[in-house]
Amino acid sequence: MKNTIHVSNQGATLDTGRRNFLKLSGVGIAIAGLALIGCSDNNDDFEIINPGPIFDLGAGDVGILNYAYALEQLEADFYTKVVNNFYSGISSIEKEIFTDLYHHEVVHRDFFKAAISSATPNVLPKLEFQYPNVNFNDRNSVLATSKALEDTGVAAYNGAGKYITNPDYLVIAGKIVSVEARHASAIRNLINPGSADFSGDDVINANGLDLAKEPKDIVMAAGAFIKTPFTWKERGIN
């Protein structure tokens, strides 16, 4: 069963530029072929796997795909919680942005599940998440968490790209990370409107490029949110 999220924008004054750039991110996904994957607006198509041996992400490109799938599961889960119970006092523009981000991350998540399933039976199961320090009814808490997740996602794709051997996967990863970077910019602008925070020194290196982080560092950073254990022995994650 699919859930329908009703977001009222009655009387909203939208920032057309920002909204369009987020919508265009969705168009970019379609061009990449992601929109061909049928996806549900909730997790009904996913099954919790019974406890058993700890799952290993695998080797080579399969490991990278499962790694990206784990991160996209996390982002999709987070935004599902945000849009199903918007924080108190949220503006119409913020609802619009978070709803866009939610739909993008669900498409990303479902794309990776389909891509991995077509390549191998070694598909990462549905993960369980926790948000012990996140108050979903508090704007600052939600925005801070969103910022952390989006910044981490960009750094994760940038750091993992060098390990991808299939050029088709590399192209797709490049398109997805550009969408994630737009998400990060949008959230940073909500936190500090009209600032240069979208390219702050905390996410841009001395060469003017987005930071790239190794998978081991990313998993360590995201570990507080992930309840389901997994390993990636190829990358030293045990």
Residue whose pair of structure tokens reads 């790209």 in the numeric block: 161
Mean pLDDT of 201-219: 88
pLDDT given at position 52: 65
**pLDDT attached to residue 180:** 96
Phi, psi (degrees; rounded to nearest 5) at 220: -65, -40
Cα–Cα distance, 232 to 223 (Å, whole number): 13
More confident residue, 107 or 22: 107
* Per-residue model confidence as pLDDT tens digits over 47-95: 444 456 899 999 999 999 999 999 999 999 999 999 999 999 999 999 9
Do 97 and 83 form a contact (C-beta atoms < 8 A)? no
Tell me the average pLDDT of the chain. 83
Tell me what pLDDT residue 42 has: 52
Q: Could you report the per-residue pLDDT of 162-187, keeping only the tens digit for each?
A: 999 999 999 999 999 999 999 999 99
What is the reported pLDDT for 6? 36
Is 3's pLDDT higher than 90?
no
**Top-confidence residue, 1 or 209:** 209
User: For the residues 123-136, what does the mean pLDDT come to?
Assistant: 97
pLDDT of residue 72: 98
pLDDT of 47 reads 47
* Assessment of whether the complete model's pTM goes beyond 0.75: yes
- The residue among 229 and 34 whose pLDDT is bigger is 229
Q: Please give the pLDDT value at position 226.
A: 97
Given pLDDT bands bounded at 50, 70 and 90, which one contains residue 198? confident
Q: Give yes or no for residue 158 having a pLDDT over 90.
A: yes
Quick one: pLDDT at residue 102?
Answer: 98
Q: What is the pLDDT of residue 104?
A: 97
SS (H, E, C) the chain: CCCCCCCCCCCCCCCHHHHHHHHHHHHHHHHHCHHHCCCCCCCCCCCCCCCCCCEECCCHHHHHHHHHHHHHHHHHHHHHHHHHCCCCCCCHHHHHHHHHHHHHHHHHHHHHHHHHHHHCCCCCCCCCECCCCCCCCCHHHHHHHHHHHHHHHHHHHHHHHHHCCCHHHHHHHHHHHHHHHHHHHHHHHHHCCCCCHHHCCCCECCCCCECCCCHHHHHHHHCCCECCCEEEHHHCEC
| pLDDT one-digit tens code per residue, 211-221 | 899 999 999 99
Mean pLDDT (whole number) for 226-231: 97
